[in-house]
Amino acid sequence: MGRKNYLRLFLTFGLLLGLAVVVSACGEGQDRERDVSAPVVIDMAALSSQLQKELGLEAELAPVEEEVFAYVYDVVPEDYEEAVLLLSTGAAADEICIVQAADGDSKKAIKKQMEARIEAQKESFASYLPEEVAKLDEAIIREIDAYLILIVCANPEQGNAVLEQAIENLN
């Protein structure tokens, strides 16, 4: 085979290879779009444990029954699929709450109750342990797809950082 033929062969393979790379890249882009449209699933127990470990909480938190979540936040069972609530002993305002709302309207209702909870706690701690009100002022309420996450802690920056990492891990 002459030099010209080798050159033609090389160019042909090079073009085919380039085409293959371009086509596969497009394919990956389409897959990425399919992942985003899929519903987000959060391992609530794992996330609550991670938050508890990494937030440097000042109070001992313990998980309570879902019935207690519904009572404390004054929500009806129909509005949520699942909830995890970690409450303090009463020594501090620290709290972690993760809820999977049943639908869009429920999520709005629960968010409203979370905000009401924060205000009620501020009123409660104002005459009891006033230094805890600052934590409540910086309380985090975050929405991730169908989930609502409430965090009250002394280090809200760390709380947001942990949540960002959790969101990244979902993608």
Partner 1 sequence: MTDTTHTKQPKQTHPTKYGFFRLLFFFVSGVLAVIGCYAYPAPALDAKTGGGFLGVFGQFFVFTEQDQRDPLSDVAVGTVKAYAGGGGVGSQLLAKNTLAEERKISLLRQRGKDISNSYFHHSAFIGDSRTEGFLLYNGLTRAGNYGVKALTVDGFFQKQVISNGSGGKITVAEAIQHKEYDTFYVMFGMNELGWASEKTFIAKYGQVIDTIRRYHPNSKIVVQSILPVSAEKSANDPVHNNPKIVHYNTLIEQMCVEKSVDYFNVAARFTDEEGALFAEASTDGIHLNKKYCNLWMDYLKEQVALDSAT
- Shortest CB 128 distance to partner 1, Å: 4
Choose between 42 and 61: whose C-beta lies nearer to partner 1: 61
Choose between 60 and 119: whose C-beta lies nearer to partner 1: 60
- Shortest CB 105 distance to partner 1, Å: 22
- Shortest CB 135 distance to partner 1, Å: 15
Three-class secondary structure of residue 141 per DSSP: strand
How many Å apart are CA 15 and CA 113, to the nearest integer? 60
DSSP per-residue codes, 49-117: HHHHHHTT-SS-EEEE-HHHHHHHHT--GGGEEEEEEEEE-SSS--EEEEEEESSHHHHHHHHHHHHHH
Choose between 124 and 155: whose C-beta lies nearer to partner 1: 124
Question: Structure tokens of 82?
Answer: 């699942």
Q: Give the footprint of partner 1 on this chain (CB under 8 A).
A: 59-60, 62, 64-65, 67-68, 70-72, 87, 89-92, 124-125, 127-128
- Shortest CB 95 distance to partner 1, Å: 11
